[in-house]
Structure 1
Amino acid sequence: MTMNATSNSNNSCVIMNSLSGHLLMSMYIVAFILGLLFNLVTIGPIIQQIYRKNVLGIYLFSLSISDLLYILTMPLWIYYFNNNHRWTFGQELCSLAGFFYYSNLYISIFLLCWISIDRCLAITFPLRVQAFRRQRYAWIICGLVYIFVMTLHSLVLYLDKLSDPLDDSEQRCYETFPMTERIAMFNLIRVGIGFFLPLIVITVCYCLIPTKVQQSRGVDDQGKRKVKLLSMGVIGIFSFCFAPYHILLMVRSIAFFTVGDKQSCIIEQKMYIPFTCSLALSSLNSVVDPVLYVLASNGVREDMKFFCWKNKTRNATRSQLVDSKRTTRMTNCC
């Protein structure tokens, strides 16, 4: 899936084999199963956080919704790679699947960035930002992130005239090589604004947070360890899930400007498997997102236990009512 369109044939530029398809299919199957499981398990406790007026719960909920929207498109990509990179679902589903992938990618990045900013401000300037850390503002911020990313993505597709991302000759969805000059320039801007800028912000935030926490006497050792774990986890997501894809995307774009259109096919062929694998790795953020922010918080873990206990109690109550009704009916019959 590369966001570019050109009249050149895939077959004359990049030759794809079944090995890459099976490898990608396996990675997406793992991401689909674990991502769907973790997000469905944790969305209940996250809603409990929202009911308790926890601002972080709103960001987690928005993150889960974005992940779930993308996860629901994964079966299409799994079938696509299993079918030797041939898309048989039509242009509309190709456009929709690509739209949700890129939207989820940058919604996740910007929400993770804002969560880091929110926690940094809450720890560094607790009294000054208290008035702004309200649920209403959190919903507005999440809405603006969704609108900004989806509008920008739609605008890019429109301006680049990607009304048909499905290659007619090879039936490949968002896999047209080589890239155009406009898309190469857009990719560099996307890497700078969509990856490096949030990474710098997150790094600064999680450098300030541990320093402030260490100076605070009101935070116990467990709290300090949790903050450190969260800091390492966020940097880990960016390093493992997002960095490989954006670095290789940047290398491909720079190589296009360096060697030109004709010679870029050689580089595209050599980088195809690493690049598509890095793209599959980026989908694993839908697996790591709920694990990181839900399990790193003691409050959410307690909500998980409470949520499971509540469901068990509800089921037990229903079972008792059913047994009671059955007993009453048997008594009346006798």
Structure 2
Amino acid sequence: MQIFISAFLSLCTQIMMNATNNTSNSSCVIMTQPAGHLLMSIYIIAFILGLLFNLITIGPIIQQICRRNVLGIYLLSLSFSDLLYILTMPLWVYYFNNNHKWNLGQGLCSLAGFFYYSNLYISIYLLCCISIDRCLAITFPLRVQVFRRQRYAWIICGLVYVLVMALHCLVLYLDKLSDPLDDTVQTCYETFPMTESIAMFNLIRVGIGFLLPLVVISVCYWLIPTKVQQSRGVDDQGKRKVKLLSMGVIGIFSFCFAPYHILLMVRSIAFFYLGEKQSCSFEQAMYLPFTCSLALSSLNSMVDPVLYVLASNGVREDMRWFRWKNKQRQVTGSPLVDSKWKTRVTNLG
């Protein structure tokens, strides 16, 4: 690990030294990297699998909400945010297929970027809410039971949506001088080099939107395993479910969100170190890994439904029950069958 960190720092230092020698006052133009097909493939896979997985799991998640499971509300809110972003993925596929040329107009560029960034931070904060809910439910099961109600969960999810979208709308409104659609090279949300205000905003975004939730999640999943192992009221299956859910949330953060935010922080720090006129070479060197990390962050819409699978005791039973419920919607159900399903232990909350 230390060797990897040392090599990474050495690479960054070398890039910064090379960028310092570049004193050109011309505008920074990023040459197209031969990764358009790779990026397009990632977005196509994320679109197909993300749409499929979310549509498959959304029905059983709604059934979990009908059983008054609080966790199901967070998972449903997560799926809804993912679906909003997934519907804009064909625009990004077209963009990369068109050699990073956006000719669909400023409105669609702003709309696609709005849903991308909204989904990114709505997902992060909902995962944070899921972690806090699990931690409180396991650490203080009796004290917090009065607060773990569906009404409060809906309010929390609504606040996350409103705050994230309102802040992003505010940024779009105040950032009139930095149009997301670059008229010179017709790129969308790819303006180089970044300005001082954008660099400062990126650092704030990394701190509040990633590092703070990461600290909260780390504390939660440091407390949960200890409490679960000490609890005699949690069986082996319950302990396994909690462990898998914690691994799933940490995995999403590590694989989908961490690379993008780390590179975003490195780019912003490099801007303040090098200055606007001398950071072009650094931006050119970081462009390929940064765009790949951006594509990886879009995969969260595909892997978020996996949390339902990790959180549920009986996924197959949930799916069969959902299909059976749809078939019996217009037919009077058998009380015996209803009783069987109601007493089944598949509670997410």
What TM-score, normalized to structure 2? 0.84
Q: Is 1:145 the counterpart of 2:160 in the alignment?
A: yes
- Corresponding residue for residue 176 of structure 1: 191
Change (3 A) 1:301 1:54: farther
DSSP-derived class of the 1:263 partner: coil
Residue 156 of structure 1 and its aligned partner are, at CA, apart by 1.5
Q: AA paired with 1:16?
A: T
Tell me if the contact between 2:122 and 2:161 (Cα under 8 Å) persists in the aligned partners.
yes
DSSP-derived class of the 1:13 partner: coil
DSSP-derived class of the 2:211 partner: helix
Q: Is 1:158 the counterpart of 2:165 in the alignment?
A: no
Change (3 A) 1:22 1:114: same
Q: Is 1:199 the counterpart of 2:214 in the alignment?
A: yes
Q: Is 1:15 the counterpart of 2:31 in the alignment?
A: yes
Change (3 A) 1:295 1:229: closer
Q: Is 1:47 the counterpart of 2:62 in the alignment?
A: yes
Q: Is 1:264 the counterpart of 2:259 in the alignment?
A: no
Change (3 A) 1:208 1:175: same
State the identity %: 83
Alignment partners' CA distance in 2, 1:10 and 1:61: 48
Matches within 5 A, 1:56-71: 56-71=71-86
Tell me if the contact between 1:10 and 1:176 (Cα under 8 Å) persists in the aligned partners.
no
CA deviation profile, 1:236-294 (whole Å, cap 9, x unmatched) = 11000000000000000000001111121101100101000000000111111111233
Aligned-residue CA RMSD in angstroms?
A: 2.1
- Corresponding residue for residue 5 of structure 1: none
What TM-score, normalized to structure 1? 0.88
Of residues 322, 325, 337 in structure 2, which corresponds to 1:310?
325
Tell me if the contact between 1:80 and 1:87 (Cα under 8 Å) persists in the aligned partners.
yes
Q: Which runs of 4+ in 1 moved over 3 A?
A: 8-12, 309-317
Which one has the bigger helix percentage?
A: 1
Residue 138 of structure 1 and its aligned partner are, at CA, apart by 0.6
Tell me if the contact between 1:39 and 1:68 (Cα under 8 Å) persists in the aligned partners.
yes
Q: Is 1:293 the counterpart of 2:308 in the alignment?
A: yes
Change (3 A) 1:115 1:81: same
Residue 50 of structure 1 and its aligned partner are, at CA, apart by 1.1
Of residues 234, 245, 248 in structure 2, which corresponds to 1:230?
245
Q: AA paired with 1:46?
A: I
Alignment partners' CA distance in 2, 1:195 and 1:116: 14
Q: AA paired with 2:46?
A: A
**What residue ranges of structure 2 are gaps of 5+ in the alignment?**
1-23, 333-349
Tell me if the contact between 2:85 and 2:116 (Cα under 8 Å) persists in the aligned partners.
yes
Change (3 A) 1:56 1:296: closer
- Corresponding residue for residue 135 of structure 1: 150
Alignment partners' CA distance in 2, 1:277 and 1:221: 39
Of residues 241, 249, 253 in structure 1, which corresponds to 2:268?
253
Residue 13 of structure 1 and its aligned partner are, at CA, apart by 2.7
Tell me if the contact between 2:28 and 2:193 (Cα under 8 Å) persists in the aligned partners.
no
Residue 87 of structure 1 and its aligned partner are, at CA, apart by 1.0
CA deviation profile, 1:173-208 (whole Å, cap 9, x unmatched) = 111100000110110111011001101100110111
